[in-house]
Structure 1
């Protein structure tokens, strides 16, 4: 909490949750949440973080972003799609870390035990991402969209 943003994360989270919950399964886009809950963008971001970190678990309902809208749901198909979207972002971040930090050093990265360990862990995570990708679990996957649609 600062003098520029006096709203606590807890208050922002309640406002985000209430706005999204009131919208039902259809959910809301980010700007709609800000408008409905009278939140600035930073308050919205802080509120989302608090919802994801604590509130969804407390409310026993998933807080998802499906690539277009935020929603609260217990629909497993929509949750699967939301997980794949989030994991896809992690995949991109891991690839950038590997490509921009580890790969340019070549074998020299293996000279430092810590960097070598981290490089190997990132490679293993990327391998897991490749398995998910080859199984059809991508945000635009027809298989995943069909599963999501059949549950909704």
Structure 2
């Protein structure tokens, strides 16, 4: 817990948490868009749909939502590895799950079908990736 000490926040060694907050705000939102829980688009600047493909690489549609989720996860991992802390095997499993889920969703049609079984499944995958990102940020 952050407590005020002498006018400064005591983050107990969590100097990078402020950097992580930026990514942690975007990951749940864009994961929900990526996994189809909700839709979101901007109507300004000629319109922008976050799930519309920017590139198509070997049949995989790369969208803004995918790039934000993957970039946010990479950002959190990079900022938490600055201090050189080592993760245990089960923590690496959470990291791999968080990074692999969006990639598999875009690249592997059968994984996408698994996620898209129903609305509850889509919501659970969104929550799982968001929780994994939060855990990665908090644990180190």
TM-score by length of 2: 0.30
**Structure with greater proportional helix content:** 1
TM-score by length of 1: 0.28
The structure number with the bigger radius of gyration is 1
Q: Which has the higher contact order (CA 8 A, sep 6+)?
A: 2
